[in-house]
A and B are shown apart, each in its own frame.
Chain A
Amino acid sequence: MRAASALLRKDILLELRSRESVPAMALFALTAFVIFHFGLDRSSLAGSLAAGVLWVTLLLAGVLGINRLFVAEREQGGLDGFLLAPVDRVALLVAKALALLAFLAAVELVAVPAFALLLLGPPVWPALPQLIAVLVLADVGIAVVGTLVSALSVQTAARDLIGPLISLPLMIPLLIAATGATTPLLLAGGAAPLPLRWMAILGLYDAVFALLAYAVFDFLVED
């Protein structure tokens, strides 16, 4: 916990200083909403189309953060500095996943209201607590898979290509479940109850990838 907290604190501080990830992710999400607005030629969206647009945008914005997650560790020797410390390698997994989770939450604080304003037909407020629950479960999945993929891709010369090529197919089940859980919340006739089946699938996805990441992370970061 001591090491994970030190790493997380350092990652947040680095992001506050460099502003390399969150502003780019937020700007990407806003730009994507504008593109969807004109591309779909609709003044407002609802139901599965709205849920799909929201989650495709958030997922692609997340990929930008995933690509940057380990760059400082690789380019500035941070990974070697960490590997020289007498701490469990899982601390790095936990800290990076929490950092990515924090970045996603910060982006969503901007992106979700912008989505509601620019594209969404029905009001988002009645279903906001349920939507937040979906966002949290899906973000945990993105953070875990993203950390795993980023740790792998940063070791390669073509990391900007490898990251999305591996992470996006892995996150298709997450996209299906998150969209399935969000659709009833954004119906034109008013929000329907949160589908627990999709929430359970999201939870299962998070658990499976968290266990997988725990099992293989040592091998990814060590020589």
Chain B
Amino acid sequence: MADEAAAIQLDGVGRAYGERFALRDVSVSVPSGATLGVLGPNGAGKSTLLALLATLVRPHTGVARILGHPLPREGWAVRGRIGFIGHEPLLYRQLSGRENLRYHARLHGVELRRVEALLERVGIAVRADEPVRTLARGMAHRLEVCRAVLHEPELLLLDEPLAHLDPAAVEAVEPLIGRSTRLTRVVTGHDPTAAVADCDLVLGLRDGRAVLSGPAGDVTPAHLGALYR
């Protein structure tokens, strides 16, 4: 039964690339303000799930509702309300960090002073005029966090959001993408224990199928061991 109030509602969702199903019959419901941790070994379908929730790829089977809107039919209604961090930083390497963020601010109709405020908050303002290609991966990742939250999204889709970040950077980005934001979040990570500790709900994927689903408090080390075995 679909929960109309849920921020994310997936019922039997599947997605194929050619003959291969990257996601198969995945169902999950995420209440508004909750954090869903998506776990699983490499190639389990985590990134495809995030791309599907971000409206970048269409579901081929099942029903997906994001922020109350069915996908893909009403994808246009949720795009500006989603903050997405994927595998790639979605930044142009020849442009500076400031130019990249200003470009995205214009696309989203955000005032440019928000760009400056974010650059200050993540501690990269002094290097914001350097081309992204010259920045270390961690610095580029801070910019990526700024890009994802520039338009103050209601839903955060975060694929390994703390990868490449040093402890100071993790502390700097926490108020923007961390649990303290109280936003609905879907987070993937390669440290299952840390991910479970940071989540309200857990979805374990293996070969595109949901093999573990429920409250994070119910997940035991044995569950995690079985998921990654």
Chain A interfacial positions (CB closer than 8 Å to B): 2-3, 5-7, 9-10, 13-14, 17-18, 72, 76-78, 80-87, 223
Contacts and interface: CB of A to CB of B under 8 A. Distances in A.
A86 B79 contact: yes
A85 B104 contact: yes
B33 interface: no
Nearest to A88: B76
B79 A5 contact: no
Interface stretch (B22-30, B52-60, B116-124, B183-191): B52-60
15 contacts: A2-B106, A2-B109, A5-B106, A10-B103, A14-B94, A17-B94, A72-B92, A76-B90, A77-B88, A80-B56, A80-B90, A84-B82, A84-B90, A85-B108, A223-B57
A7 B76 CA distance: 19
Given A13-B99, A17-B95, A86 B80 contact: yes
Contacts of B57: 223
Which of A5, A72, A84 has the largest count of B CB atoms less than 10 A from its CB? A84
Contacts of B104: 81, 85
Interface of B: 54-58, 72, 76, 79-82, 84, 86, 88-95, 99, 103-104, 106-109, 131, 147
A76 B91 CA distance: 6
Contacts of B108: 85-86
Given A6-B107, A78-B90, A81-B107, 11 more contacts: A6-B103, A7-B107, A9-B103, A10-B95, A13-B99, A14-B94, A17-B131, A76-B90, A81-B104, A85-B107, A86-B108
A72 B132 CA distance: 14
What secondary structure prevails in chain A residues at the interface with B?
Answer: helix
B55 A83 contact: yes
Nearest to A91: B107
Contact of B79 (A7, A13, A77, A85): A85
A175 to B, nearest CB: 33
Contacts of A18: 94
Contact of B107 (A3, A77, A80, A223): A3
A77 B85 CA distance: 11
A78 B132 CA distance: 14
7 nearest A-B residue pairs (beta carbon): A86-B80, A6-B106, A77-B90, A85-B107, A81-B90, A77-B88, A17-B94
A120 B94 CA distance: 39
Contact of A10 (B80, B82, B92, B147): B92
Contacts of B103: 6, 9-10
Nearest to B84: A84
Nearest to B80: A86
Nearest to A19: B94
A76 B95 CA distance: 11
Nearest to B108: A85
A14 to B, nearest CB: 6
Given A87-B107, A223-B57, A77 B94 contact: no
A7 B95 CA distance: 13
A6 B86 CA distance: 23
Contacts of A82: 107
A83 to B, nearest CB: 6
A17 to B, nearest CB: 4
Contacts of B131: 17
Contacts of B55: 83-84
A82 B79 CA distance: 10
A77 B81 CA distance: 19
A119 B96 CA distance: 43
B95 A84 contact: no
Contacts of A9: 103, 106
A102 B72 CA distance: 35
Given A13-B95, A223-B58, A77 B80 contact: no
A3 B108 CA distance: 8
Contacts of B81: 86
Contacts of A223: 56-58, 72
Nearest to B82: A84
A77 B86 contact: yes
B5 to A, nearest CB: 23
